[in-house]
Structure 1
Amino acid sequence: MNSLGFDKAPADTRVVVAMSGGVDSSVTAALLKEEGYDVVGVTLQLYDHGMAVGRKGACCAGQDIYDASRVAETIGIPHYVLDYESRFSDAVMQDFADSYLRGETPIPCVRCNQRVKFRDLLDQARDLGAEALATGHYVRRVQGANGAELHRAADPSKDQSYFLFATTQAQLDFLRFPLGGMPKTETRALADRYNLPVADKPDSQDICFVPNGSYAAVVNRLRPGAVTPGDIVHVDGRVLGRHDGVINYTVGQRKGLGLGGNATLAVEPGGDTDPLYVVRVDAASAQVVVGPRAALARTRVTVREVNWLGGAAPAAGLPVTVKLRSAQPALSARLFLTDEGPSPGGAIVDLDQPQFGVAPGQAAVFYQGDRVLGGGWIVGAV
């Protein structure tokens, strides 16, 4: 077996590498090339070229496409740029805008992996005669007793498994993640050793199509006239102020509420004051509901569009850990799938301890140890 799990020489194994122009995917391509694989680099142009020129910390446009091309030339592999702008707009950007207008907090990077990179690009890789599609994600693909499994990365600080929960079993069978077993420091060292032109390039941080982090500006551009102002209302019914659109708020938000001196209120008349948080975003009534932190406590989370990677459907009340935000620790819980068969369907997650700031539109990702069992989109919580 070669390092990618195929019973043949690396030279007889064609691998397409998804090259974003960053250091991780560049090292992935260089590493596989050094091991002797037949490597083909592919870069997707996902959004308007002009929006990205001169921007740092983006991907898949402008300078990043040029960087991917330079890396491919440096390591001596063929490189193709595919125009996926219309697919990306339809499958990711439009969904992003609609989700915010519904009062949700979306994760477009998951949708991009789900609907573009691991679907359309994977098909393109097959068309190019590849036996695998390799990416620079920090996640591990482990061959288990019943097939390929998705596991957390060896480096917890770089683990990206939360963003890959929607990867299907068929996609996982075709995908490879060469960096999943190494720390980022080793990736940087390899970039230096391979003399890659992106060795010192900073990691991408922002959503690629959101210039300057202004989500509201993107939604207004994609849905002109759709953003409606409304009231900011306390959980007890008091109207505390006005807002310019629910797209500016997310559950659990404390800063930037636009309430001035009303950002803290007494829990009881004459009592101590508590800071206010966004408790609920009601897009239908254009209301942002705020209250004390205690009003955020939730113990049961409802999930839709569950993608299941855990094999046979689990018995009711499966003990798991679950991540409800990408940056938070995994939490102890019990999982109940709410449909016949594991996927597609929904789930109920009963948390062992109350959590604060569970936001619709984010993902709930289920784990047993380091293994990703699956996940879905948060609908609501009580």
Structure 2
Amino acid sequence: MPLDQTPPLNSLGLPKPVAETRVVVAMSGGVDSSVVAAMLAEEGYDVVGVTLQLYDHGAALAKKGACCAGIDIHDARRVAEEMGFPHYVLDYENIFRDAVIDEFADSYLAGATPVPCIRCNERVKFKDLLETAKDLDADCMATGHYIQRKMGPNGPELHCAADAARDQSYFLFSTTREQLDFLRFPLGHLKSKDETRALAAKYGLPVAMKPDSQDICFVPDGNYASVIEKLRPGAAEPGDIVDMDGNVLGSHGGVIHYTIGQRRGLGIGGLSDPLYVVKLDVDTRRVIVGPKEALSTRIVPVKEVNWLGDEPFESVATREISVKVRSTRPPQPAILRATGPDTAEVELLTPEEGVSPGQACVFYETEGTRVFGGGWIHAG
């Protein structure tokens, strides 16, 4: 090849022969990351599989329906053996506890509704694991997330997955530009999970029909309160359930048992109109309830903004965007106003119910699939 000629880009967008391109694949043991590893191995890439052990291995073995459990480590190893590439298990238990679990507990105790899966991606998988991949002389790191990385005029951009039902952009908004340079998401263009399972069957993977993980990995059966009580003994202190005027309507066994927007399980029957949790006052141990309209929110203060737009964030005086304030809702029209280097005010053009501190507010372009980042909702 002439000296002035750049090598052609391979399928991962790197100017190297496939066989000389090392890819670390973050393998959770599920079908998605297994397909990514198998696909790249079949293409001839130098694949290295890495699985994180995030919490006690003995306890993990008994827990099904979550990622990174003991059975998943075993499944990831089997896939690597089938496809003939090396596989490593890294003990990240202390890192995971310090970076994710402790903050989850403290946020919940402060009356917020945290989203630990985002912090895990941000602080563990896309930080520590990514650095480990570089230590292994990898050219890039691939994951099984359903999101797209596309090259734009100013470098790589983050875009929603082709399959809106599988899109994971809400959980990946804090991915930085530097991380995006190194990351690859080979499944983001697929139109359905059926295509992924078909690929798993094609490669003969033992996890082809394995169910998707459902729960937060360290929260069995979605019972947040029981986990918090174990992590922070004495956290479930009783208090009053009051209306918006401060009138006592009943009592509760701990603020940690409630979330903003909750209607069921309040234990204050006999009222003519349904009541919802509209605020949690941790200092006074009060659960404040009110009518559904009291949940309506128009102005959302946001902090720790990760901005993936082309212009500097500070220059975003007023901008029309779409936002998600909850992973299960589609993006809604909003106005974004930068209020500092990493803070913003988001005005929802149609007020939403149940917006809670601790959740993410993710920014999207109004027409199209690009993700502009996002931030964390706080009490203001």
For normalisation by structure 2, the TM-score amounts to 0.95
Separation in 1 of the partners of 2:211 and 2:257? 28
Quote the residue 2:197 is aligned against: 188
Quote the residue 1:128 is aligned against: 136
Runs of 4+ residues over 4 Å off in structure 1: none
Most deviating of 187-196 and 222-231? 222-231
Residue 226 of structure 1: CA displacement?
2.8
Quote the residue 1:352 is aligned against: 349
Separation in 1 of the partners of 2:296 and 2:67? 36
Quote the residue 2:3 is aligned against: none
Separation in 2 of the partners of 1:88 and 1:123? 15
Residue 54 of structure 1: CA displacement?
3.4
Equivalent pair of 1:366/1:372 in contact (CA under 8 Å): yes
Question: Secondary structure of 1:365's partner?
Answer: strand
Separation in 2 of the partners of 1:52 and 1:232? 37
Most deviating of 250-259 and 169-178? 250-259
Q: 1:166-212, CA deviations, whole angstroms, 9 ceiling, x for partnerless residues?
A: 11110011000000000211100001111111111000000001122
1:189-228 matches, cutoff 5 A: 189-228=198-237
Quote the residue 1:378 is aligned against: 377
Q: What amino acid sits opposite 1:354 in the alignment?
A: P
Separation in 1 of the partners of 2:171 and 2:295? 24
Question: Secondary structure of 2:211's partner?
Answer: coil
Separation in 1 of the partners of 2:176 and 2:266? 39
Quote the residue 1:24 is aligned against: 32
Quote the residue 1:331 is aligned against: 332
Over the matched positions of the two proteins, sequence identity in percent amounts to 64
Quote the residue 1:70 is aligned against: 78
Most deviating of 307-316 and 133-142? 307-316
Separation in 1 of the partners of 2:291 and 2:230? 33
1:1-382 matches, cutoff 5 A: 1-182=9-190, 183-259=192-268, 261-262=269-270, 265=271, 273-312=272-311, 313=313, 314-340=315-341, 345-368=342-365, 369-380=368-379
Question: Secondary structure of 2:335's partner?
Answer: strand
Quote the residue 2:4 is aligned against: none
Q: What amino acid sits opposite 2:348 in the alignment?
A: L
Equivalent pair of 2:105/2:231 in contact (CA under 8 Å): yes
Question: Secondary structure of 2:378's partner?
Answer: strand
Separation in 2 of the partners of 1:101 and 1:315? 34
Quote the residue 2:5 is aligned against: none
Equivalent pair of 1:101/1:247 in contact (CA under 8 Å): yes
Residue 79 of structure 1: CA displacement?
0.1
Question: Secondary structure of 1:15's partner?
Answer: strand
Separation in 2 of the partners of 1:350 and 1:212? 35
Quote the residue 1:270 is aligned against: none
Question: Secondary structure of 1:274's partner?
Answer: coil
The count of corresponding residues between Structure 1 and Structure 2 is: 367
Q: 1:132-172, CA deviations, whole angstroms, 9 ceiling, x for partnerless residues?
A: 01000000001110011110000000000000011111001
Equivalent pair of 2:296/2:354 in contact (CA under 8 Å): yes
Question: Secondary structure of 1:380's partner?
Answer: coil
Question: Secondary structure of 1:339's partner?
Answer: coil
Equivalent pair of 2:151/2:157 in contact (CA under 8 Å): yes
Unaligned residue ranges in structure 2 (runs of 5+): 1-8
Unaligned residue ranges in structure 1 (runs of 5+): 266-272
Question: Secondary structure of 1:185's partner?
Answer: helix
Question: Secondary structure of 1:250's partner?
Answer: coil
Equivalent pair of 1:191/1:199 in contact (CA under 8 Å): yes
Separation in 1 of the partners of 2:273 and 2:363? 33
Residue 248 of structure 1: CA displacement?
1.1
Question: Secondary structure of 2:112's partner?
Answer: coil
Residue 258 of structure 1: CA displacement?
2.6
Question: Secondary structure of 1:172's partner?
Answer: helix
RMSD between superposed Cα atoms in Å: 1.1
Separation in 2 of the partners of 1:86 and 1:107? 19
